[in-house]
Amino acid sequence: MRIGDAKQTYEADEAIWTTQTQKLWFGLFLLLLLVFPFMADSYLLYLGCLVGIAVISTTGLNILTGFTGLISLGQAGFMGVGAYTVAWLSVNTALPFPVTLLLAGLMAAAVGILVGLPSLRVKGLYLAIATLAASVFLHFIFAEWESVTGGMGGMSLEPAHLFGWSFQSDFMMYFIIVPLAVLMVLAAANVFRTRIGRAFIAIRDRDISAEILGIDLLRYKLMSFALSSFYAGVAGGLFAYFFRVVTPESFPLSMSIFYLAAVIVGGMGNLLGGILGAVFMTLVPEALKLLTSALTPFYPNAPVFMSPMLEIIFGALIVGFLIFEPHGLAEIWHRIRRFFHLWPFRN
């Protein structure tokens, strides 16, 4: 056998081995997710559900900001649209939760298209301000349209139900939120294997060149806004079912900053980065609460001192990762894999 043929055979075997290993680890990961709720206590189940919701919303924002290059500060507003859609449908109809979640995503996508219309003319900081203004406007609607949203008092809703099953506990909600998060991440990964996903990336890299190549900028930017908002709407609907109460204060501006921070910390334009960022940023407030509880016996004013620290930490994480590790946690993970370069971390 010639050296070239031997090399090709080796590379083919290596690719097959890598694919099989990835499938094995993905299967083990799914098994871990399945076993987790039977081993975890109520607090860990609560965190698991929060992480699942955060993964869905962060993945949606990553599609828009990380893969298409359109900065958005309106994610909380789009989640609010989804949450109020689910709440209204739950109160006024008897639709099962899969239908209400789908309608919540579609409603948020429609709002996202309207918000995305200026994206052909403005981008960067100006687009971020436009989405911020949209989020403020949506918050105003949530607070003032009392006949639909319940005003500042918000809305309460019944637990999610399907075929006579009622999903009341965190344990039951886990089996809605986490599988849906896995499916939506896989769906996003498949989008970027299509012409639409490649168009998003081309617009991010250089929109003028993309337009010269025949990509309709407005069409694909609006598609990106719609897809991102759909994910946010579904996440907002799950948020509503999980907490079973929706108020305007459930979706403040700080929530939009939270998800933008998750995308940046995890790694923009990387689906694994979105997952890692969502997990990391969800655990940061919980770690801060534990630290506050530990300090309180020694420093009684610790809660007062630590209460404004969350926004400071979010801002510091964004700045720190932009300066020192712009590719985020995903790049750190890839460095760890390259460092070991041994089974089971090998490429």
269: left (phi over 0), alpha (psi -120 to 50) or beta: left
| 273 within 8 A of 284, measured Cβ to Cβ | no
Residues of the chain with pLDDT under 50: 1-17, 345, 347
Contact between 269 and 67 (Cβ < 8 Å): yes
Cα angle: 168, vertex 174, 175; to 5 degrees? 95
Catalogue the E-assigned strands of 7-159: 155-156
Determine the longest span between alpha carbons in the chain, in angstroms. Answer: 78
Give dist(CA 99, CA 94) in Å, integer: 10
Query: How many whole angstroms separate alpha carbon 196 and alpha carbon 225?
Result: 13
Spans of all domains in the chain? 41-342
Place of tokens 């919303």: 57
Q: How far apart are CA 133 and CA 170, in angstroms?
A: 34
The model's pTM is 0.87
Supply the CATH classification number for the domain 41-342: 1.10.3470
Residue 61 is inside which H or E element, if any?
helix 42-61
Residue 102 is predicted with a pLDDT of: 94
What is the per-residue pLDDT for 342? Answer: 54
Q: What integer pLDDT is reported at residue 51 of this predicted model? A: 94
| pLDDT number for residue 17 | 45
Q: Which two tokens stand for residue 202?
A: 């081309």
Tokens linked to 193: 């294997």
For position 64, what pLDDT does the model report?
Answer: 93
DSSP 159: P
Helix/strand/coil for 160:
strand
Nearest to 150 by CA among 201, 91, 71: 91
Calculate the alpha carbon distances from 308 to 260, 296, 305, 312 in Å.
Answer: 19, 16, 7, 7
173 contact partners, CB below 8 Å, separation of at least 6: 49, 160, 167, 238, 241, 242
Within 10 angstroms of residue 9's Cβ, the number of other Cβ atoms is 11
Length of the chain: 347
- For residue 166, list its beta bridge partners: 161
